[in-house]
Structure 1
Amino acid sequence: MNLPWAALAGGGLIGASAVLLLATLGRVAGISGITAGCLRAQGGERRWRWAFLLGLLAAAGGVLWWQSVPEASPQVLLRDALPAWQLIGAGLLVGFGTRLGSGCTSGHGVCGMARGSMRSLLAVLVFMACAMLTTFLIRHGGGLA
């Protein structure tokens, strides 16, 4: 599948799953909130959260396949992108930002903005500004790579 069409299809599936979760369970598809609730929630509330997260992991199987089958891999492999210490540091910073912003990109960017939340709009503007600044620094400012 051509990359722009694959991205469009992926975005459509993300949007459809967010709408389905909201329509069926009345829940917002914010991954950080769903993950946090896996440990705190009880009964049926806990079950749907685990099912959602297991579905995400199953969808990640394509990335794992790309990583293990060199001839099927895209030109830039995740395993070759950055040293492990940078990936770990980036993950910790994302986790910190998620707590600081009271939600993640999926909750604010996909669901919050679709509901017209001003808080989500501001959060997405901050996410995007940080992403643009980081990309600029790494590509043009002698970054960490």
Structure 2
Amino acid sequence: MENFTPWTSLLGGALLGLSAVLLMLFSGKVAGISGILNGLLTPKKGDFLWRFLFILGMASSILLLVPFSIELPTVSGQPLVFIIAGLLVGFGTRLGNGCTSGHGIVGIGRFSTRSIIATCLFISVAALVVFLRLHVGAL
């Protein structure tokens, strides 16, 4: 399996968990990316800076990988498909009242029943889509 990267995946997961814990510990905020981004696009007074810095840090974190010569994934495909997929993800996060980071990392860590159910649903749908894409070619 050429894309199996257990150590970098473990490190990435640990860093995600650490960032969620630190954000909750020092500010009481949940590290749900869709909620952070939504609050950035519709800011309330005094609530913009931390959201902006979180998104900036997340987006620029790729620069930390450069000294370690870690191979970055490449993405190819049709831009329209990515736009539609992004809109569907946005719709899904509104429908599910959160995203995989909010429910999967923070919610499960807090033993939230709603988040456990939502995360199981996210993973089940993702597995179904991958199966259909690889074996049926429907997507």
Identify the TM-score tier after normalising by the shorter chain.
Answer: 0.7 to 0.9
- 1:107 is aligned, of 95, 99, 102, to 102
Aligned sequence identity (%) = 46
Name 2:119's counterpart in structure 1. Answer: 124
1:136 Cα offset (Å): 0.6
| Higher mean C-alpha deviation, range 32-41 or range 107-116 | 32-41
1:41 Cα offset (Å): 1.9
The answer as to 2:74 corresponding to 1:77 is: yes
For residues 103-134 of structure 1, what are the alpha-carbon distances to aligned partners after superposition, in whole Å with 9 as ceiling and x for unaligned?
00000000000000011011101101110110
Please tell me the root mean square deviation across aligned C-alpha atoms, in Å: 2.1
The answer as to 2:89 corresponding to 1:94 is: yes
Q: Give distance in 2, aligned partners of 1:77 and 1:129.
A: 25
The answer as to 2:13 corresponding to 1:11 is: yes
Name 1:68's counterpart in structure 2. Answer: none
- 1:138 is aligned, of 129, 133, 138, to 133
1:40 Cα offset (Å): 2.2
Aligned length: 132
Q: Give distance in 2, aligned partners of 1:95 and 1:102.
A: 10
For residues 67-120 of structure 1, what are the alpha-carbon distances to aligned partners after superposition, in whole Å with 9 as ceiling and x for unaligned?
xxxxx856x621x2x322221111111111000000000000000000000110
- Three-state SS of the structure 1 residue aligned to 2:31 is coil
Q: Please show how residues 47-58 of structure 1 align to structure 2 within 5 Å.
A: 47-58=49-60
Q: Give distance in 1, aligned partners of 2:64 and 2:96.
A: 30
Q: Give distance in 1, aligned partners of 2:83 and 2:39.
A: 23
Q: Please show how residues 61-72 of structure 1 align to structure 2 within 5 Å.
A: 61=63
Higher helix share: 1
Over 6 Å off, 4+ runs: none
Name 2:44's counterpart in structure 1. Answer: 41
1:52 Cα offset (Å): 0.5
Q: Which runs of 5+ in 1 are unaligned?
A: 66-71
Q: Give distance in 1, aligned partners of 2:102 and 2:71.
A: 30
Q: Give distance in 2, aligned partners of 1:113 and 1:73.
A: 30
Q: Which runs of 5+ in 2 are unaligned?
A: none
